[in-house]
Amino acid sequence: MSLLSVRDLSVVYEPRGGEPVPAVTGANFELQQGDFVGLVGESGSGKSTLGFALTGLSKPPARVSAGSILFDGVDIANLSLADLRVQRHGGFAMVLQSGMNALNPVRSIRDHFYDIFAAHGHVSRIDREDRAVELVGKVELPSSVLDRFSGELSGGMRQRVSIALALSLEPKLMIFDEPTTALDVLVQHAVMNTIRELQASERFTAVLISHDLGMVLEVTERVMVMHEGLIVEDNTAAAILAAPQHPYTQMLLSHYGDPRAEVVEVPGLAVRGTARAVSSDVPGREGRAAREAIVVRGVSKIYPPPRRGEKPVRAVSDVSFRLEPGASMALVGASGSGKSTIAKMITGVERPTSGTISFGDLQVDTIKRRSLKRLHTEVQMVFQDPYSALNPLHTVEYILTRPILNFSKRRGQDARRRVLELLDTVGLTPAPQFAARLPHQLSGGQRQRVVIARALACEPQVIIADEPVSMLDVSLRAGVLALLNSLRETWGVSMLYITHDLLSARLVTDQIMVLNQGAVVEEGGTASVLQNPQDDYTIRLLEAIPHPQVGR
């Protein structure tokens, strides 16, 4: 008999005063003991809803409306809360995306383990310490973490602790809901390896929920692809990789590429080969092409110590580069490598501790508030999170009108024409309809286009894009990247592209700088650096990228 069998499962959201919305419709599958299955889909595909339903964690307004979930022969869809709680021991457990925030900050890690042991009484009082040490050992943490508090651990360590906590009930079924998404690239890789090894040694059944098909294909044996609440494909990882059946899977798969390849191609983006020269003489439109270079010389930024008695934080140390007019450069590194701090210093938000930054005749490092406005007419920023970069209460038209009124002489109808023109440029058509919308009526990709349109509104020479696609679904990324690319090429704007994602860096930039702990460890042409990395850190970053193709 299979461990888990799901039949015709449907989950609906029934918000108060709103129409019920189906989130999962007619899911059918079976899991055997020891399976490692991936559940892939984009945001809103119902994958997390399904995961919550499998562990009996569905919360209102979500409700299991039809079908059954047989776990070891028991239908958990209709279990009472008390029975469900008993069932969790030796039953099913879940590791959440924000699992690292699930730890109580005022209790030590040991207390967390003891609470669970006490609640289920499956570990005798004398054995508790040994069992806790054993559990943290399984997730490759030293026993000393038991004495620490969650605030003293890094994100990766906390996620490992929450995995160990989930393991403490000896579950037969573990559901990992985007366990590494909130973590840094290199840490992601390490945590994923731990999960993989644990699954192999403990032989629990695991379901890995993720938006990242590449990663899932790499670590799991069987993959289910969800789209609009339906499981559209359910096959072995090898089969999906070799011959994806459903067009949606094919589309998802087409967005993966190896940044080290000779030629990298993603749908919607122009082919970018090795031979491409650095082009600084872009045929820009009159008055729009970048004329000035950003020159950064020996810049360092030291933040005061976070707590008394600690050392000052050195965010950036002695970085020098030159962003030529019309060029595109990638600034790559894991979080904490100082790449965002550099962006803040170039835009005058922060001041460097030492070194100089100049843009044309503007000395950015010592800029006064009055000239800051002049700098912002030339240097604009595209933000990482399109969900927080737009004020939820203003219409798109208001958002785009502000920079036009502030930076140009257009008024009234003239300004409105410009707004519509900008929306056209970023591909939001019909423009008048989009102008009247509020941010919550737009999708993530559309929001990011509005953010880009706003950055373009004052016809800047330089655009600083801070991880512009990291919050977007894979299928939307290519569109936004293609837009950035074409804007740069047709208008001759220079672009500083900040990212941890080497594939997208390869797709839109000609030059690259790799940062590690505030210092530049490698720089050069994007293609040549990625194909032939010299520094150990660059190599590690490259290896952390999931390669579904590799090793098959």
The answer to whether 113 and 135 are in contact (CB under 8 A) is yes
Q: Which is nearer to another protein, 116 or 399 (CB)?
A: 399
Instruction: Select from 326, 361, 364 the least CA-distant residue to 485.
Output: 326
Near another protein by CB under 8 A: residue from 373, 411, 417, 552 = 373
Residue 74, beta-bridge partner list: 71
For residue 306, state whether it binds another protein (rule: CB under 8 A).
no
For residue 370, state whether it binds another protein (rule: CB under 8 A).
no
Identity (one letter) of the amino acid at 40?
A: V
For residue 56, state whether it binds another protein (rule: CB under 8 A).
no
Q: Counting Cβ atoms within 10 Å, is residue 453 exposed (0-12), middle (13-18) or buried (19+)?
A: buried
* Candidates 67-75, 96-104, 371-379, 415-423; binding stretch for another protein (CB under 8 A): 371-379
d(CA 113, CA 121): 12
Q: Which is nearer to another protein, 397 or 523 (CB)?
A: 397
* Candidates 11-19, 80-88, 308-316, 329-337; binding stretch for another protein (CB under 8 A): 11-19
Displacement of CA 121 from its chain's centroid (Å) = 39
Near another protein by CB under 8 A: residue from 1, 60, 311, 361 = 60
For residue 84, state whether it binds another protein (rule: CB under 8 A).
no
Tokens of 63: 């409700």
Pairing outcome for strands 462-466 and 494-499: parallel
Phi, psi angle pair for 176, to nearest 5°: -105, 115
Count of chain residues binding another protein (CB under 8 A): 64
For residue 270, state whether it binds another protein (rule: CB under 8 A).
no
Q: Which is nearer to another protein, 436 or 550 (CB)?
A: 436
Helix (H) or strand (E) holding 425: helix 412-425
Q: Which is nearer to another protein, 264 or 382 (CB)?
A: 382
For residue 425, state whether it binds another protein (rule: CB under 8 A).
no
* Candidates 21-29, 67-75, 116-124, 504-512; binding stretch for another protein (CB under 8 A): 21-29
* Candidates 28-36, 109-117, 414-422, 472-480; binding stretch for another protein (CB under 8 A): 472-480
d(CA 87, CA 81): 10
For residue 26, state whether it binds another protein (rule: CB under 8 A).
no
d(CA 358, CA 366): 10
For residue 393, state whether it binds another protein (rule: CB under 8 A).
yes
Tokens of 344: 């803040």
Tell me how far, at minimum, the Cβ of 400 lies from another protein, in Å.
9
Pairing outcome for strands 222-227 and 230-236: antiparallel
Phi, psi angle pair for 24, to nearest 5°: -130, 130
Pairing outcome for strands 205-210 and 173-177: parallel
The answer to whether 539 and 502 are in contact (CB under 8 A) is no
List of E strands, 271-341: 294-303, 313-323, 328-332
Near another protein by CB under 8 A: residue from 8, 21, 83, 197 = 21
Near another protein by CB under 8 A: residue from 153, 174, 231, 451 = 451
d(CA 357, CA 354): 10
Phi, psi angle pair for 226, to nearest 5°: -110, 140
Looking at residues 136 to 165 of the shown chain, list those that interact with another protein (rule: CB under 8 A): none
For residue 219, state whether it binds another protein (rule: CB under 8 A).
no
Helix (H) or strand (E) holding 68: strand 62-71
Instruction: Select from 122, 148, 117, 121 the least CA-distant residue to 132.
Output: 117
d(CA 500, CA 326): 22
For residue 5, state whether it binds another protein (rule: CB under 8 A).
no
The answer to whether 69 and 54 are in contact (CB under 8 A) is yes
Tell me how far, at minimum, the Cβ of 84 lies from another protein, in Å.
17
∠ Cα 131 135 139 (to 5°): 165
For residue 457, state whether it binds another protein (rule: CB under 8 A).
yes
Contacting residues for 121 by C-beta, under 8 A, at least 6 apart:
none
Q: Which is nearer to another protein, 4 or 24 (CB)?
A: 24
3-state percent helix, strand, coil for the chain, nearest multiple of 5: 40, 25, 35
For residue 473, state whether it binds another protein (rule: CB under 8 A).
yes
Tell me how far, at minimum, the Cβ of 371 lies from another protein, in Å.
12
For residue 34, state whether it binds another protein (rule: CB under 8 A).
no
Near another protein by CB under 8 A: residue from 53, 476, 520, 529 = 476
For residue 495, state whether it binds another protein (rule: CB under 8 A).
no
d(CA 540, CA 484): 28
* Candidates 274-282, 303-311, 389-397, 542-550; binding stretch for another protein (CB under 8 A): 389-397
* Candidates 70-78, 303-311, 312-320, 477-485; binding stretch for another protein (CB under 8 A): 477-485
Looking at residues 170 to 209 of the shown chain, list those that interact with another protein (rule: CB under 8 A): none
d(CA 272, CA 350): 35
Near another protein by CB under 8 A: residue from 235, 300, 425, 446 = 446
d(CA 245, CA 451): 36
* Candidates 75-83, 145-153, 418-426, 433-441; binding stretch for another protein (CB under 8 A): 433-441
Tell me how far, at minimum, the Cβ of 446 lies from another protein, in Å.
6
Tell me how far, at minimum, the Cβ of 131 lies from another protein, in Å.
35
Q: Which is nearer to another protein, 311 or 369 (CB)?
A: 369
For residue 13, state whether it binds another protein (rule: CB under 8 A).
yes
For residue 244, state whether it binds another protein (rule: CB under 8 A).
no
Binding site for another protein (CB under 8 A): 13, 15-19, 21-23, 42-46, 49, 60-61, 228-229, 251, 267-268, 347, 349, 373, 376-377, 380-381, 383-385, 388-394, 402-403, 406-407, 427, 436, 438, 440-446, 451, 454-455, 457-458, 473, 475-476, 478-479, 482
